[in-house]
Amino acid sequence: MYNASVHPVVFRFAFEAGTSRGVLREKTSWFIRLKKNEVEGWGECSPIAGLSPEPLEVIEAKIMTVLDEWQKDPAAILDSNSRWTEELRQWPSLRFALETAWLDYTNGGVHTLYNNAFVKGMQAIPINGLVWMNTLEHMQAQIEDKLKQGYQCLKLKIGHHDFAAELNLLKRLRDRFPTKELMIRVDANGAYQKHTVYPMLEALAALDVHSIEQPVAAGQMDLMSDLCKNSPLPIALDEELIKHRLKEERADLLHQLQPAYLVLKPSLHGGMMGCKEWIELATQQNTGWWMTSYLESSIGLNAIAQFTCEYETSIFHGLGTGQIYTHTIASPLEVQTGQLTYHPMKKWGSPLDLS
């Protein structure tokens, strides 16, 4: 029989990570190890308090319960026809960790999930540089830092400050760099209201912003449908996707809203299985998509990057290297001039080094 175990690690941010739910200073990841005959596969369960659907106060107990069954037959539980499929839809970050650990194990336990060009060091992934919510001065400093690093796409989290001040920040950036030199995305995390959202979208569109993620709070179907159809700025859905767990529900959502883009996170949107469903449905109706990490460390990021490169996509994705933390797990992942790369000759560390 396989041996499955869980190893929690508390990561501390190297800066104040401003989100729509306040400032994050630390985050726990639960690393799952699947071991048999000296081969071990690792996965990362990385929920975020207040954002993930999983109740964090009971997640470790849930992990232990699932692992007790999973180690008996890992492949069977992850099968789409398993009785566990519906239950794991309620625990997307756990499903993602199980998928990652199993793929790692079955490929020899060397953190190779997919034998594609990325993991061979032959293909890089273009990524956006993320500018976190903070004071306007600190956001400007982040912008300058990302530009020096060679990013050709920046994503700014907005909706925290006065809109005019944020718009001025974006205008100064656009005045320096035309669209052909710099793509600008924004993420409002549902900050805008029905009676003010259209003038804001028009102002952002005037700056040739690429897209806006979740301009209004999730669950306002009529409003979001209207925005997707009539906004002067392309709409990307993120939080709107979370509660739609069945494929039929997802198909209905996309048919009703018809967004320009989906922002997919395996830890939030059903693991790799769930993201495959979203991608399939998006492709059927010519909806664009990009993949984004969810504050995972290098274990989770590696899995997302390899999964992303299973698809032919040249769009900028929202990935990094886990360097947002004061300590991390050594890996072959590296960002070079705004692209995520993999260096096969570099060695992996282990979550056990930190736990």
Give 314 or 268, the one with higher predicted confidence: 268
CATH fit for domain 3-106, picks 3.40.1350.10, 1.10.1060.10, 3.30.390.10, 3.40.50.1000? 3.30.390.10
* Per-residue model confidence (pLDDT) at position 20: 63
For 293-350, how does the pLDDT look when each residue is reduced to its tens digit (9 = 90+)? 999 999 999 999 999 999 987 899 999 766 789 998 999 999 999 999 999 999 999 9
Residue 270, number of CB atoms within 10 A of its CB:
28
119, 342 contact by CB (below 8 A): yes
**For 17, left (φ over 0), alpha (ψ -120 to 50), or beta?**
beta
107, 99 contact by CB (below 8 A): no
Tell me the average pLDDT of the chain. Answer: 95
46, 295 contact by CB (below 8 A): yes
* Per-residue model confidence (pLDDT) at position 172: 98
> What confidence category does residue 50 fall into, taking pLDDT thresholds of 50, 70 and 90?
confident
Residue 100, number of CB atoms within 10 A of its CB:
31
Q: What are the extents of the domains in the chain? A: 3-106, 125-353
* Per-residue model confidence (pLDDT) at position 82: 87
What span, in angstroms and rounded, lies between the C-alpha atoms of 327 and 139? 23
> What confidence category does residue 83 fall into, taking pLDDT thresholds of 50, 70 and 90?
confident
171 annotated active-site: no
Among residues 27, 146, 155, 265, the one annotated as catalytic is 265
Task: Check residue 83 and report its DSSP letter.
Answer: T
Residue 340, number of CB atoms within 10 A of its CB:
25
27 annotated active-site: no
| Cα–Cα distance list, 328 to 29, 249, 301, 341, 352 (Å) | 11, 37, 12, 17, 11
Q: Is 139's pLDDT higher than 90?
A: yes
* Per-residue model confidence (pLDDT) at position 323: 77
What span, in angstroms and rounded, lies between the C-alpha atoms of 255 and 112? 36
Among residues 36, 72, 157, 171, the one annotated as catalytic is 157
Say if residue 147 is exposed, middle or buried (CB neighbours under 10 Å; 0-12, 13-18, 19+). Answer: middle
Nearest partner of 325 among 297, 301, 346, judged by Cα? 297
> What confidence category does residue 251 fall into, taking pLDDT thresholds of 50, 70 and 90?
very high
For 211-240, how does the pLDDT look when each residue is reduced to its tens digit (9 = 90+)? 999 999 999 999 999 999 999 999 999 999
For 25-36, how does the pLDDT look when each residue is reduced to its tens digit (9 = 90+)? 899 999 999 999
> What confidence category does residue 49 fall into, taking pLDDT thresholds of 50, 70 and 90?
confident
* Per-residue model confidence (pLDDT) at position 339: 96
For 66-79, how does the pLDDT look when each residue is reduced to its tens digit (9 = 90+)? 999 999 999 998 98
Q: Is 21's pLDDT higher than 90?
A: no
Give 253 or 81, the one with higher predicted confidence: 253
CATH fit for domain 125-353, picks 3.40.190.290, 3.30.70.120, 3.40.50.720, 3.20.20.120? 3.20.20.120
Q: Is 288's pLDDT higher than 70?
A: yes
* Per-residue model confidence (pLDDT) at position 114: 98
